[in-house]
Amino acid sequence: MSAAFDERLQALKQRFLARSAGDLQVIARALADPASVGRDDLRQVVHRLAGAAGTFGYAELSRIAGEADDALVLNQADVGAELTQLVEALKDALP
């Protein structure tokens, strides 16, 4: 990997983390008051995390977001537990 590539990837990773801080707020709000966040909006946030986190080196966060994404798609009863786990994983990942 070239130094230039690495540098650009690091800059994008910082931007991803900044956006993820906002995602954390959205998911926490959805957990506290499910009616306050639209289902599609919530899935968009969770799906984005599932896709992006691993690319930026957060494999576990990506895995947990993927499971929450699946739970949302399948409308599983335990989606709250999956989202709670995702909130904790986000807190661990964020600086």
Partner 1 sequence: MSGGLTVLYADDEPDIREVASIALELDGGINLTAVGSGQEAIEALERPGYRPDVIMLDVMMPGMDGPAALAEIRRRPMLADIPVVFITARAQAHEQARFLELGAVGVITKPFDPLALAGELRAIVTRAGA
Q: Which residues bind partner 1 (CB under 8 A)?
A: 1-2, 5, 8-9, 12, 15-16, 19, 44, 47-48, 50-56, 59, 62, 66, 69-70
Residue (36 or 55) nearer to partner 1, CB: 55
- Which contacts of 48-52 are long-range, i.e. CB under 8 A and separated by 24 or more positions? 48/23, 49/20, 49/23, 49/86, 49/90, 52/16
* Least Å from the CB of residue 75 to partner 1: 14
Looking at the Cβ atoms of 33 and 85, the one nearer to partner 1 is: 85
| Region at 57 (left for phi over 0; alpha for psi -120 to 50; beta for the rest) | left
